Structures are given as structure tokens and as C-alpha cells.
Amino acid sequence: MYELQEEERMILSMVDSVCTDIIADRAAEIDEQDEFPQDIYDVLAEQGLFGLAMPEEQGGFAVSVNCWAQCVARLAEESPAVALMLFVAAIGADAIMTYGTDEQKNTYLPEIIAGEKKISFAMTEPNAGSDVWSLTTSAKPTENGYVISGNKMFISNAEVADLFCVFAQVDVDGERKPAAFIVDAHDERVVISAHEQKLGLHGSPTCPIFFDKVEVASDALIGEVGQGAQIAFHALNRGRIALAATALGITRASLKASATYAEGRKQFGQPVFDFEAVSFMLADMRIAATASHGLIDDAIDAFVNDARDVKERVAAAKVFCSDAAQQAATNAVQIHGGYGFCKEYPVERYYRDAKAFTILGGTNQIQRRIIADEVRKQFAL
């Protein structure tokens, strides 16, 4: 596994303090209120966490993706909704970081790093999830830029966003070519509807957006027309790593809560920890957490080295970590018995939150399809 550098260990330790001293007390309330916790966002911004994986030229700190992912995982132990703040910022800014011009980087990244502006990733549509080729949102070229029209769904943190990284199809001589654009979220022709009432991940608002012939200048285009799929895949890979890390946080939180409870809860005169059925569940959680960490590091290795099999390795991490988190949270509720079914104990929240990660960023079925395609190429053709 990747060994964090000294400063990276210190950053992770700092995040641990933020979690223990600040977020732990707010996590249940964030879930209960289901409102974006601006106060916690401000803390993360003040601590510099939005600049972790950003380039130094724009005021970021350029730590390893591994360090960034471990910070996401630690935040998720307290509140996956808070961890998703880093996920949304990173996936939203990925296109600018990776394919943007120097002017775009210098214009947008410093404000995103400082927490002064929030950017969201707007790709999913009612009939297109991870399939960028099926998008129906259009960007019609004009004399000075483009006019963007269409609907987006399930856009994380949309209601608090200042900017969107929007994916749309550009008609070039009758051929539809995907492209990415930076759009001002406060434009009056951008209509953001109320956030969905979700099973879990409360506090991380997910909204539909309608782009009602939104005019953008030509310098809003990121990369080139036709590069949209490439840009989206890179951002999605970064995002899936963050989702896997968030799931790892839930697995670790489930393990910690369950081990503590199992040691204190006594039945038939002994801690329930001593019963094999319980202790084996805890052992499985530990194995899952360690394996998740390893797969995340493997995915990051593929991501930063632009490996040919990056999609497969990132998908593997996302599938394994989210399935493991769901299993760990389910077992955590089981170990807690009736108490686990009540909001008094956090495992009830872990159970609801964990489900999301088997769906977000592309369902686990799609991820397995990606992996299976690679298996066929390698062994069956």
C-alpha cells in the first residue's frame, strides 16, 4: 500500500482532529436536518482541504491522490455527506485542472480552493447516467459562444453551487460531439429545483437542473468540442476513487461502532463480542476495510499513471468498497440488534448512507460490466 509522506500523515492527523473536535458532534444533526452544512464547509475551506489535490500554481497543495482519498475516508467515518464535499469539488474541478486553459485554471481554481466558490459536476440526465454518448443536453454554437439547453438530474450540491461543469452535445455538421462547459450557476436561465428527498446522504443536496437556453461565451468550453467523453471519464475516475474512499469510511465507522458496542453489550453474562457469530462479523469488517484500502491505492496507482486498465481498476475499487460498506453497515445494525434499528445509534445512518455508494458514480452493475468487458478482452477473445 502507498505510504503517506510525513506532511501527508500530519494532514491526515489534522483531518482526524477536525472530525473528532467538530464534525462528530454535528453528524447526526446534519442527517436529521438534511440541509447543506455551510458551517462545516467553511471549516473544511479554512483548513485548506479543498486545495489538497489541486495544483500549487493556483494555490493548491498538490498532495498525493492517496492522501486526498484517505482524508475523504476519514471525513466519511463521521459524515459521508461532509466527505462528499471534497468529492464534489474535485470531480467538478477535474475538467479544469486536467483540460482547462491557464486562464481557466487561474480564474476558477483559486476561488474553489479557497472555498469562495463551489463547483458541481453536471452530467447525469433523466435518461443518461454514466453514458456520456447518450446525453441529450445540447450546446448550440453561436457567434460568441454556445447556448446550452437541457435537463440534468441528481446533481450533487447543485443548490449551493456557484459553478457547474456541464456536459452537453455540440452539433458539428450533423454529428453530435460531447463537450464540457463552465456555467455560472447563478445565471437566471439556470433553474435549480428543490433537492430530492433521499434515503440517506442527508446534508448532501441532490437536485434536478434545467438549462433554459443558457448563453455562455466561447471561453466557457473546456478542452475541445468532441473531448467531452475523455474529460468525463477522467473526472468520473477521480470521482469513483472518492466514492470508494467514502465507502471505506463507512466500513471503518461500522467496525468501530460495532466493536465498541459488542464489547460493552453483555448477554448471558458475557460481552456479545465473545460470541463467534458476532466476532466473525467484526473480523470480516476489518478484512473488508484493509482490502478496500488496498484496492483504492491500486485504483489511484492506475489513475495517476494513466494506466491502460485504469477504468477497470477504478471500477473494481468502487464496486468492492461500496459492496463492503453496505455489508459492514448491515452487519453493524445486526450486531446492535434492536438498538441498531433506532436513530439513537449511528449505525442506522451508516446503513442508509451505505446504499448510495452502490449506485452513485455509476451503479455497481455498470462497474462490473466495465470489468467484465476487460476480462473478455484479456481471456476470451
Chain residues binding another protein by CB under 8 A are 6-7, 9-11, 14, 17-18, 21, 46-49, 51-52, 61, 266
- Name residue 251's amino acid: T
Least Cβ distance, residue 11 to another protein (angstroms): 6
Residue listed under C-alpha cell 460490466: 369
Least Cβ distance, residue 265 to another protein (angstroms): 9
The greatest distance separating any two alpha carbons of the chain, rounded to the nearest whole angstrom, comes to 79
Which residue lies nearer to another protein by CB, 61 or 154?
61
Contact by Cβ (8 Å): 303, 238: yes
Least Cβ distance, residue 339 to another protein (angstroms): 11
Give the cell for residue 358: 452502490
Least Cβ distance, residue 71 to another protein (angstroms): 10
Residue 270: CB atoms within 10 Å = 9
Which residue lies nearer to another protein by CB, 51 or 92?
51
Which residue lies nearer to another protein by CB, 114 or 191?
114
Alpha-carbon span 182 to 189, nearest angstrom: 14
Which residue lies nearer to another protein by CB, 56 or 188?
56
Which residue lies nearer to another protein by CB, 14 or 225?
14
Helices (H), 3-56: 6-18, 24-33, 38-47
Least Cβ distance, residue 89 to another protein (angstroms): 14
**Pairing outcome for strands 266-267 and 270-271:** antiparallel
Contact by Cβ (8 Å): 323, 359: no
Alpha-carbon span 79 to 376, nearest angstrom: 38
Which residue lies nearer to another protein by CB, 21 or 29?
21
Least Cβ distance, residue 3 to another protein (angstroms): 14
Alpha-carbon span 339 to 241, nearest angstrom: 32
